[in-house]
Amino acid sequence: QVQLVESGGGVVQPGRSLTVSCAASGFTFSTYAMQWVRQAPGKGLEWVASISYDGRNEYYADSVKGRFTISRDTSKNTLYLQMNSLRAGDTAVYYCARDARGYGDYHYFDYWGQGTLVTVSS
């Protein structure tokens, strides 16, 4: 069965960096676009970043462009989000999510991880 397991969240000071990971299993990771979606405490969903199935294309929300980098390691079936220059406003649960169809960029998500909480605070 498809599983997405995030890790790497925690408390980090403003201005510092953190990388969160998403371990994928139960499907052919290399054939699906992947994304990160976040949810601030008590708030709605916000798309953060997407990466194409072949890793050639990356897309970012304006709020994180230039600070966050999405990447994938097919050999480890793992998705990453490197977050630099963190701000209090980046505090959220970060979910990884799989595109609903393979071999393309369909931009809607059929499987989600359980999320990892990132808290930016001094």
Cβ neighbours of residue 70 closer than 8 Å, sequence gap 6 or more: 34, 35, 36, 48, 49, 50, 51, 58, 60, 79, 80, 81, 82
Q: Concatenated DSSP letters for 101-112?
A: EESS----EEEE
CA gap 48, 12 in Å, rounded: 19
Least Å distance between CB 45 and other proteins? 4
Q: Which of residues 68-97 bind other proteins (CB under 8 A)?
A: 95
Q: Going residue by residue from 19 to 58, which x/- string records binding to other proteins, judged by CB under 8 A? A: ----------------x-x------xxxx--x--------
Identity of the residue, 74 or 112, whose beta carbon is nearer to other proteins in the bound complex: 112
Q: Is the dihedral of CA 105, 51, 11, 14 positive or negative?
A: negative
Contact between 108 and other proteins per CB under 8 A: yes
- Binding flag, residue 2, other proteins (CB under 8 A): no
Q: For other proteins, which is the closer residue by CB, 72 or 98?
A: 98
Binding site for other proteins (CB under 8 A): 35, 37, 44-47, 50, 59-62, 95, 100, 106-110, 112-115
